[in-house]
Amino acid sequence: MRSKEMKAAVYHGKDDLRIETMPVPEISAGEVLVRVGSSGICGSDVMHWYRAGRGPLVLGHEIAGEIVSVGEGVTKYRQGDRIAAAHHVPCNTCHYCRHDHHTVCETLRKTNFHPGGFAEYLRLPQINVDRGIFLLPEEMSFEEATFIEPLACVYRGQRSAGMDMGKSVLVIGSGISGLLHIQLARVLGAALVVATDVDPFRMRAAKKLGADYVFSAAEDVPAALRSVNKGRPADIVILTAGAPPAIKQAFASIDRGGTILFFAPAAQGASVTLPVNDLFWRNEITLTSSYAANYDEHMRAMELIRQKRVDVGSMITHTLPLSEINRGFQLVEEAKESIKVIIQP
């Protein structure tokens, strides 16, 4: 018989993450209970200003695991199914959903699973069961499956930015999101992919995972970009770093008719001056952003991982038990010799 208690990592605030015992969630009609096999640490998990005042809570949303029980009325899934799951799901009927903006749907912003991925078990509410479960291919590991959600977000971002065959792309920042953007741009037919970072470890990873050229963010990136792109700036600039200098660098690196994708959030209260005439007037520059992903984008991401067209396995640098989650958070915050850190509750 399964224990009625479980371990979970409870976030109380910056540098205050505690392993605590809590009840295993009870499920009702239409719900399922999942034993968490792997849960990735996302950059947003260590974005403490965003979490300030919201604890105690259990973080973790990049999850994969096994269904251990199903509630009354659940017919699509059964005990033993290996799944990934979306924590936020849309209503699919509102104005935003009907116009392909599922990720700004009010329902999506309010939904979640309980208590979070950094726990031994979690409960998927009925709405998540209805539209947020992804049955894993037999050949896909739980560790690989934790990339479905972040890659789906990357796919949505590039779709919003108009990624297409033959375009030149500059990815500013080569952390986990940047490395996924580099690989996906290659898959979607980019003619040139240039990446930047300040850390040599991540710069090497960017080169290994498909960037044609990698430059230090400390150098004159717009000039370096032009030197390898036939004198032109980039058609698409993807910002996976939100610091004001990175944003200014993006403004200076975009070509006429190009698109800048704001993929990463900026620091709390950060702002930059928008050079309206130099950037926009006569140049038809587009600034866009993206957040989260819809069901179809999750399915597309899962298939790209299954086909090995996006190499996620080599991005996993650390796999840790729940008891070492504080070390995992530290690795992600330091952003040195780690790429993807996965917790196995």
Write a three-state SS string for 18-56: EEEEEECCCCCCCCEEEEEEEEECCHHHHCHHHHCCCCC
Q: Which residue has the higher pLDDT, 1 or 180?
A: 180
In a domain, 70, yes or no: yes
Q: What are phi and psi of 255, to 5 degrees?
A: -85, 165
What is the chain's Cα-based Rg? 20
Q: Which of 270, 289, 308 finishes a domain?
A: 289
Residues 189 and 256 placed together within one structural domain of the fold: yes
What does the pLDDT average to over 1-7? 78
CB 312 within 8 A of CB 147: yes
In a domain, 227, yes or no: yes
Residues 145 and 19 placed together within one structural domain of the fold: yes
Residues 6+ apart with CB under 8 A from 282: none
Residues 92 and 195 placed together within one structural domain of the fold: no
| Residue 71 tokens, joined | 């509630």
Q: Residues 73-116: pLDDT tens digits?
A: 999 999 999 999 999 999 999 999 999 999 999 999 999 999 99
The pLDDT score that the predictor gives to residue 141 is 98
The pLDDT score that the predictor gives to residue 162 is 96
Residues 192 and 319 placed together within one structural domain of the fold: no
> Would the pLDDT of 305 be above 80?
yes
The pLDDT score that the predictor gives to residue 3 is 64
| Residue 171 tokens, joined | 């990815």
> Would the pLDDT of 335 be above 50?
yes
Of 47, 11, 15, nearest in space to 241 by CA: 47
Residues 11 and 134 placed together within one structural domain of the fold: yes
What does the pLDDT average to over 196-215? 97
Q: What are phi and psi of 293, to 5 degrees?
A: -160, 155
Mean pLDDT, rounded, of the chain: 95
Q: What is 313-341 written as a DSSP string? A: GGGEEEEEEGGGHHHHHHHHHHTSS-SEE
Residues 281 and 298 placed together within one structural domain of the fold: no
| pTM assigned to the model | 0.95
Domain of 317, CATH number, reads 3.90.180.10
In a domain, 221, yes or no: yes
In a domain, 157, yes or no: no
Residues 137 and 270 placed together within one structural domain of the fold: no
What does the pLDDT average to over 173-191? 97
Residues 171 and 254 placed together within one structural domain of the fold: yes
Residues 330 and 273 placed together within one structural domain of the fold: no
Number of domains in the chain: 2
What does the pLDDT average to over 255-268? 92
The pLDDT score that the predictor gives to residue 15 is 86
In a domain, 156, yes or no: no
What does the pLDDT average to over 271-287? 87
> Would the pLDDT of 237 be above 90?
yes
Q: Residues 28-57: pLDDT tens digits?
A: 999 999 999 999 999 888 888 777 777 799
Residues 238 and 323 placed together within one structural domain of the fold: no
Q: Which of 289, 310, 325 finishes a domain?
A: 289
- Domain range spanning residue 264? 162-289
Domain of 247, CATH number, reads 3.40.50.720
The pLDDT score that the predictor gives to residue 2 is 57
> Would the pLDDT of 1 be above 50?
no
Residues 52 and 143 placed together within one structural domain of the fold: yes
Residues 104 and 240 placed together within one structural domain of the fold: no
């898959």: which residue's tokens?
187
Q: Which of 289, 317, 336 finishes a domain?
A: 289
What does the pLDDT average to over 311-332? 96
In a domain, 244, yes or no: yes
Identify the weakest region by mean pLDDT among 7-21, 266-280, 307-321: 266-280
Identify the weakest region by mean pLDDT among 43-57, 79-93, 124-138, 214-228: 43-57
In a domain, 320, yes or no: yes
CB 49 within 8 A of CB 156: no
The pLDDT score that the predictor gives to residue 287 is 95
In a domain, 155, yes or no: no
